[in-house]
Amino acid sequence: MSQASPQNYPPALPNFRNLGVMLRILVLVAALNIVAALVKGGVFWRELIDVSAGVQPILLSSLLALYALHPWLKRLPYGAGCVAVAGVEVALTALVALAGRQLFDFEATTQERGWLFALIVTATLLGYFHLRDRALSPALGEARLQALQARIRPHFLFNSINAVLSLIRSEPQRAEQALMDMADLFRVLMADNRQLTPLSDEIALCRQYLDLEKLRLGERLQVAWHIDKMPGDALVPPLVLQPLLENAVYHGIEPSFEPGEIRIDIYRKRDAVHIALTNPYRQEGSHHAGNKMALANIRERLQLHFDAEAELQTKAGESTYQVHIVVPYTKAEKAG
C-alpha cells in the first residue's frame, strides 16, 4: 500500500475539550457579535448588549454540549461531524428560545434569524479551525521539515553504517542488533506521523537511537534517564523527543572530546506531562539554525495537537542547554 502524501491528510473537527479551542471560540463569537451589532445599526452599545443577551446562553450551553459530545463527534467522518455540530447548535438555539419565552417576547421571525445566525457562526468557526489545522499541519510544513532532515539524517546514517561495519567481524550479534535498530528508527521517520503515539513508544525509539550513537561515541556519550514517574500511556506527537536528542548529540556531545551527559526527565504533574531534556552547552558555534528549525517544527506540532495547553521552553545556562515540554495528560481510549 502506498503511503498517503502529506497533502492528503483528512480534515478533523477541533478538540472541543481543549482549553485553547474553547478560548478561540469565545473570542471569535465575541467578534461576530460586534459585527452583528454594527450591521444592525442604531446605538452600537445597545445593539451589542441585545445581540449578546441572545447569544451568550446559546454559546455557554454549546460549549458544555460539545465538551460532552466530543468523544462521539470525533469518531464521525469530518462532513458528518460538521453536520452534527450544526444540528446541535440549531437545537440549542431552539431550546434557549423556548426556555426564554416566559421572559422575552420572541416572534417566529426572531427565532428564524437566531437559527440563521447560529448556522453562520458555526460555519465560520468550523471554517476557521479547518484553515488553522491546514496551516499548522505537516501538509504545509513538510518542505521545511524535509529540508532539515536531509541535512541531519545522512550525517547520522553514514556514521551509524561506519560504526556497524567496524563491529561486523568482532561483534556480529551487536552489529545485527544495530542494523535492526536502524531499520526501526528509519521506519518511524518515514511513516505518517500525524497521529499521537504512546509516550512509551517514543522512549523506546529514543533508546534505539541513543544506542546507535553510542556505537561511535562510546563513553563520550552518557545518558541519564529519570523516567520512574513517567506515564507511559500518555499520548504525544511522534518524534517529539528524538529530534531533540539528535540535536543534543550533535551540538552538545560531538564538539567535545570529553564525556558529556544528556539527561532526560519525564514525569506527570497533576494533569500535565513534563519532558525535560538537558545537554552540555557551549556558547561558541552551538545551537545554530538546525536546532532552531527542529524546535520550531516541534512547537508547531504541539500547537496543532494541543493548542494552548502545550508549552515548549528553552533555557541556555553557562554550561547546559535545556528544552522543557509540557503537554496535557491524555490517554488512548480503550476499544469497546
Structure confidence by residue, pLDDT tens digits, 227-270? 999 998 999 988 888 888 988 888 888 888 889 999 999 999 98
Query: Average pLDDT of the chain?
Result: 79
CA atoms of 205 and 155, how far apart (whole Å): 18
Q: For residue 311, what is the enclosing H or E element?
A: strand 311-316
Query: Does domain 140-328 sit in CATH 3.30.565.10?
Result: yes
Residue 225 grid cell: 534517564
Least confident range from 98-102, 115-119, 224-228, 231-235: namely: 98-102
Which one, of 211, 224, 221, 319, lies nearest residue 264 by Cα? 224
Residue 316 DSSP SS3 = strand
In whole angstroms, how far apart are CA 261 and each of 167, 255, 313? 24, 13, 20
Is residue 239 a contact partner of residue 277, using CB atoms and an 8 Å limit? Answer: no
Residue 303 grid cell: 500547537
Predicted TM-score (pTM) of this structure: 0.66
pLDDT value of position 273:
95
Residues 6+ apart with CB under 8 A from 260: 220, 221, 222, 252, 253, 279, 280
Residue 323 DSSP SS3 = strand
Specify the domain boundaries for CATH 3.30.565.10 within the chain.
140-328
Write the Ramachandran bin of 106: left for phi over 0, alpha for psi from -120 to 50, otherwise beta. beta
pLDDT value of position 109:
43
Least confident range from 94-108, 146-160, 237-251: namely: 146-160
pLDDT value of position 234:
93
- Which residue carries 506531562 as its cell? 273
CA atoms of 242 and 289, how far apart (whole Å): 17
pLDDT value of position 151:
45
CA atoms of 264 and 325, how far apart (whole Å): 11
CA atoms of 162 and 172, how far apart (whole Å): 14
How confident is residue 309, by pLDDT bands cut at 50, 70 and 90? confident
Is residue 252 a contact partner of residue 279, using CB atoms and an 8 Å limit? Answer: yes
Is residue 120 a contact partner of residue 97, using CB atoms and an 8 Å limit? Answer: no
Percent of the chain residues past pLDDT 90, beyond the cut: 16
Q: Are strands 221-226 and 311-316 parallel, antiparallel or unpaired?
A: unpaired
**Residue 219 Cα to chain centre, angstroms:** 35
Q: For residue 320, what is the enclosing H or E element?
A: strand 320-328
